[in-house]
Amino acid sequence: MTQNSANLRVRRMQKLLREALLDLIEERGFDALTVSEIIERAMVSRTAFYRHYQDKYDLVEQIFEEAMSALLNAVGELGQEHPAEIWVTFFEHIAVYARLYRALLGSKGSPWFVRRMRAALSGLIKERGRHPHGPDTSSYLSHGFSNEFVPDLVSAMFVETITWWLEHERPYTPREIATKVALLASALFKEASTW
C-alpha cells in the first residue's frame, strides 16, 4: 500500500469519526457517548480508532486542534496591521465550523470543551498582545490581576457570544458580530487599564 492511499484512508476514517461524533452529540449529548457508539456509527474498527485516539476526549481534542490550526493560520496571515479583522476572520472561521462549535459548546456539548475553548481564546488574546479593537494591551495587562483575569473574562465573553450566535442561527454576519463583541472587549480592556 502506498503512503498516499494510507493517508487517504486515515483522512476518510477521521471524517467518518467526526461526523459520527457530531451526530451523536446532537442526539444524546457528549457526556453520554461512548467510544463504542462512535465507532459503530462511523463503521470504523476499534483497532483503527485506538491506533489514532486514546478516547473520545482525544478525538475531540484533535478535531479542535485542526480547527484552531486553521483559525491561527487565517489570523496569522492578517499580521498586526489589521487587528479588528482578526475577529472578523475568527467569526468567519466559526461560521465554517458552525456544526462542530454548536455541538460542542451548546447544551449537549461538554464543559471540558468549553474550558478548552476559553483557554485557547485567552491564549490567543494574550499572544496577540492587542485587544480586539486595536491598541496594544501591554499597558492594560501590566498588573498581575488583570494580566490573567481580563483575557480570561474576554475569552468567556467570546465563548458565550459564539454559543448565542450559533444557537440563534447567526442573526448577524461575522463582521457584525465581531464588531459588537470587539467593542465590548475594548470597553473591558479600557476599564481594566484604570485598575
99 and 42 within one domain:
no
- Counting other chains too, the contacts that 6-9 makes at CB distance below 8 Å and 24 or more residues apart are none
Residues 138-175: pLDDT tens digits? 444 444 445 678 888 889 999 999 999 999 999 999 99
- Counting other chains too, the contacts that 122-127 makes at CB distance below 8 Å and 24 or more residues apart are 122/151, 122/152, 122/154, 122/155, 124/72, 124/75, 125/151, 125/154, 125/155, 126/151
Flag whether pLDDT at 45 surpasses 80. Answer: yes
87 and 26 within one domain:
no
134 and 39 within one domain:
no
Stretch 8-23: mean pLDDT: 92
Question: pLDDT at position 79, please?
Answer: 55
Q: Which three cell numbers stand for residue 78?
A: 492578517
Flag whether pLDDT at 52 surpasses 70. Answer: yes
68 and 37 within one domain:
no
Question: pLDDT at position 195, please?
Answer: 77
Maximum distance among all Cα pairs of the chain, rounded to whole angstroms: 63
Q: How far apart are CA 174 and CA 146, in angstroms?
A: 28
Nearest to 18 by CA among 95, 93, 110, 101: 101
Q: Write out the residue range of the structural domain in which residue 43 sits.
A: 1-53
187 and 92 within one domain:
yes
Q: How far apart are CA 123 and CA 118, in angstroms?
A: 9
- Look up the CATH number of the domain holding residue 26: 1.10.10.60
91 and 186 within one domain:
yes
Residues 98-113: pLDDT tens digits? 998 999 898 898 888 8
Domains held by the chain: number:
2
Q: Which three cell numbers stand for residue 138?
A: 501591554
Question: pLDDT at position 134, please?
Answer: 43
Flag whether pLDDT at 77 surpasses 50. Answer: yes
Stretch 170-186: mean pLDDT: 92
Question: pLDDT at position 194, please?
Answer: 81
- Highest-scoring range by mean pLDDT, 4-8, 19-23, 68-72: 19-23
22 and 66 within one domain:
no
Stretch 37-44: mean pLDDT: 96
Flag whether pLDDT at 136 surpasses 80. Answer: no
